[in-house]
């Protein structure tokens, strides 16, 4: 067990460094910025740690051990994964994993931040001006605690689309599910994505998935931390939050607050991590 834990830790650290250069070019569907930097003393400035092997086509590296023949292509990687030499696998995933599902991103041209129209949101002029200056303000914790409606209005279609499985898990998600089913070597999946598409992989144990920025497929109160019934939350969003895209004729004309059933404060939202949260 100790050796497996060490191997997992090494794999996680290695994957982080190997993905560092590429991750900045990816669309960030989490809505959160990622500040990746490589340590020249560790990887020689090339983005790959010393003693690691980069596998072309898979986009990750493995740490070299003297007794391991390093895989250099997909066929060799597949053989290595199935071999006794491979003990534990940890995956660090970003927006590229979900891009093929068609989920709209936040940061690219034409994305949510680029097309944000504060005048459509339920907010006062001071709040709207703050969002014009910096569109990410809509997802800041301070803004949410002061006025949760802009965040929920902007996320309405994403919340309901997640509930209705509008977007499907990609072949990359299914690969991870198969990795667990066929080998039992998947130790952990760390994902920056908030889309919750891993939840569609029913044989992938939820405890193996760590959504570091939270997830859209759960709900909780930002004040007291109490988890909310997800189905009830989605129904509240459908009935109480207006559709700023004006595509849902059944949506209300004006938004109203969604109180927590435990503390009564209007802090219920998807379990995504807001900007400036501790």
Q: Which two tokens stand for residue 181?
A: 């089913």
Helix (H) or strand (E) holding 173: helix 171-183
- Tell me which of 32, 173, 180, 213 is the catalytic residue: 213
What are the angstrom distances between the C-alpha of 13 and each of 6, 92, 148? 11, 9, 36
Give the rounded distance of the alpha carbon of 223 from its chain centre.
22
41 in Cβ contact with 81 (< 8 Å):
no
| Sign of the torsion angle spanned by Cα atoms 23, 26, 29, 33 | positive
213 labelled catalytic? yes
Q: Give the C-alpha separation, 105 to 122, whole Å.
A: 23
Q: Which two tokens stand for residue 21?
A: 């250069």
Quickly tell me which residue has 């339920």 as its tokens: 122
* Catalytic sites, residue numbers: 213
């Amino acid at each position: 067990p100790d050796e497996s834990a060490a191997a997992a830790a090494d794999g996680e650290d290695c994957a982080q460094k190997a993905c560092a250069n590429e991750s900045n070019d990816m669309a960030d569907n989490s809505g959160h910025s990622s500040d990746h930097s490589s340590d020249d003393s560790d990887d020689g400035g090339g983005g790959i740690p010393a003693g690691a092997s980069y596998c072309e086509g898979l986009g990750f590296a493995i740490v070299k051990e003297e007794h391991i023949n390093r895989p250099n292509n997909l066929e060799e990687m597949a053989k290595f994964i199935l071999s006794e030499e491979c003990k534990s696998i940890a995956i660090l995933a970003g927006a590229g994993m979900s891009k093929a599902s068609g989920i709209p991103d936040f940061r690219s041209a034409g994305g949510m931040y680029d097309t944000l129209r504060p005048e459509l949101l339920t907010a006062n002029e001071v709040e709207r001006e703050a969002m014009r200056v910096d569109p990410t303000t809509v997802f800041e914790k301070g803004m949410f605690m002061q006025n949760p409606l802009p965040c929920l209005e902007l996320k309405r279609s994403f919340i309901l689309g997640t509930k209705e499985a509008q977007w499907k898990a990609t072949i990359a998600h299914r690969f991870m599910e198969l990795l667990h089913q066929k080998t039992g070597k998947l130790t952990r999946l760390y994902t920056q994505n908030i889309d919750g598409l891993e939840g569609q992989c029913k044989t992938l144990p939820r405890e193996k998935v760590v959504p570091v920025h939270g997830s859209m497929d759960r709900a909780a109160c930002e004040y007291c931390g109490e988890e909310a019934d997800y189905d009830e939350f989605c129904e509240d969003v459908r009935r109480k939050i207006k559709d700023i895209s004006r595509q849902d004729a059944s949506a209300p004309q004006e938004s109203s607050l969604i109180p927590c059933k435990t503390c009564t404060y209007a802090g219920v939202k998807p379990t995504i991590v807001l900007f400036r949260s501790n």
